[in-house]
Structure 1
Amino acid sequence: MIAEARLRKIIHDPQGFNERERKLIASSKSQIERWKSAVDFAFRRQYAVPVHLEIRDSGADPKVISRHAIITEMLDEDLKPIIEGRNKTAHGQWIWELNNLETQFKGRAADPMNYLAISRRGEIIDDLAEIVHVLIVSEPAFQREFDRLYGKIGTTRCVIDGNDYPQFEATIRSSGRQRIRSAMKDDRR
């Protein structure tokens, strides 16, 4: 839901797309296709790539072509699984996963995520949304911010599964005990 809301906010930024582009993006069938359309339109606008050419075949600077490919790959590899996982949960696929038509079982659903896994997926959505938003509204800002945001996503990818939750939990428990001890000392005074 966060990904969908962030995309809507990006698309309707007054400094971004015009009404025609918004309608074309909205006409895409799936949410991930809407994200890809937004990225595609933004690259075309910022780097003057005609609609009849693929960005990779446009003769644009290799760095531009590479960044387009990187963002498209992040949408497929990072955002798409988050969106699909949320949709499966929203449609009640908690124990058994169904095919796209919801007519047959594909197998067991993924185990529930812990707080860190959920939180880190939100971080990836936020960082991807920021990359796309900056691309849409300002090419110089995109050039300046791309490496920083891409690096943040790479770091988050390494810990997205939340396997470090036991350490996180221990830290929270420890800090809670310290606050209780401190409060008890204050009460004794």
Structure 2
Amino acid sequence: MDRTKRHNAHVRNLEALETAFEVVSRSCKDSIRRGENHEILALTRTCALLLGATLEDRLMTIVSSPYFPQDSEQRVMKERTVLDMWHRVLTEAFAVRYKVPHSKIPSLLPFTSAAHFAGMKSVLDNWVEPLINVRNSLAHGQWIVAFNEEREKANQRRTQQLNTQTLWHLRLQRSMLIHLERLIFDLIATQYAFERDFDKHWKNLRAAEVRISMNKSKEWELLLRRRHQRGKRHIGRNYRRLIETGQI
């Protein structure tokens, strides 16, 4: 398959995954409103699996893009893990942008560009890696207890990562990843937009990160349930009024 066809196929896959995430996310919100805990757990895990899968497709759409050099793509594809691929994408994108050998990134970057690199790398280390770990555990059927690579004993760290994922966290992490992808696209495809728009994208990315750290998931879920209960009471009052006035 030639590069253009591969890119188009990756874009279609990504669009399908994004649609699936939105569909399952809406179902999960409805389960949260109704307090259906078994459904919430199953649908949250499914959202995490889908979000983790989009990480790989987002990566593939970037490296197969006509804006990304083909030799850079080949180096990305030689990396062992998806996280290593993301790190290589970042290195290659900065190398092309600032005409620095990829082996000298970030040491030969200008100060501001090096700061941009460090900030974007921190997103990969702090947010992308845990999502990849969760996706891998779920893809191997480890939906309640995660195991080590040999599957001979439980992996407490990955199990904790599984248990801390909520729909609220996942939607905010999805927002962060969209802004990160936008920054990388601007880095490789535009002449001025990366430097011009970096602070705007970084502000939005950091806002999502701050909201995650505040951990308002329980409050958000409680708000959804209260609104659902108010809606049910409103429907009940309207129904009784229609009966009392003889309209039904």
Task: Indicate the TM-score class for this superposition, using the shorter chain for normalisation.
Answer: 0.7 to 0.9
Gaps of 5+ in 2: 1-52
What residue number does 1:17 align with? 68
Deviation at 1:153, TM superposition (A): 2.0
Q: Deviations over 1:82-101 (max 9, x none)?
A: 11112112212233332234
* Cα separation, partners in 2 of 1:72 and 1:139, compared to 1, 3 Å: farther
What residue number does 1:137 align with? 189
Alignment of 1:89-108 (within 5 A): 89-107=138-156
What residue number does 1:54 align with? 104
Amino-acid identity (%): 22
CA distance in 1, matches of 2:56, 2:73: 14
What residue number does 2:131 align with? 82
Alignment of 1:33-182 (within 5 A): 33-51=84-102, 53-58=103-108, 60-107=109-156, 109-110=159-160, 111=163, 113-160=165-212, 163-176=215-228, 177-178=230-231, 181=234
Matched to 1:73, the amino acid is S
CA distance in 2, matches of 1:165, 1:153: 18
Matched to 1:50, the amino acid is P
TM-score (norm 2): 0.65
What residue number does 2:83 align with? 32
After the TM superposition, which segments of 4 or more aligned residues of structure 1 sit over 4 Å from their partners?
Answer: none
CA distance in 2, matches of 1:136, 1:101: 39
SS in 1 for 2:106: helix
CA distance in 1, matches of 2:110, 2:215: 40
CA distance in 1, matches of 2:191, 2:81: 27
* Cα separation, partners in 2 of 1:164 and 1:73, compared to 1, 3 Å: closer
Matched to 1:122, the amino acid is R
CA distance in 2, matches of 1:179, 1:106: 43
What residue number does 1:184 align with? 238
Q: Deviations over 1:125-162 (max 9, x none)?
A: 22222221221212411112221222222221223268
Deviation at 1:112, TM superposition (A): 5.7
* Cα separation, partners in 2 of 1:91 and 1:112, compared to 1, 3 Å: farther
Is contact 1:116-1:162 (8 Å) kept? no
Q: Select between 73-82 and 170-179 the one with higher mean Cα deviation.
A: 170-179
CA distance in 1, matches of 2:199, 2:58: 21
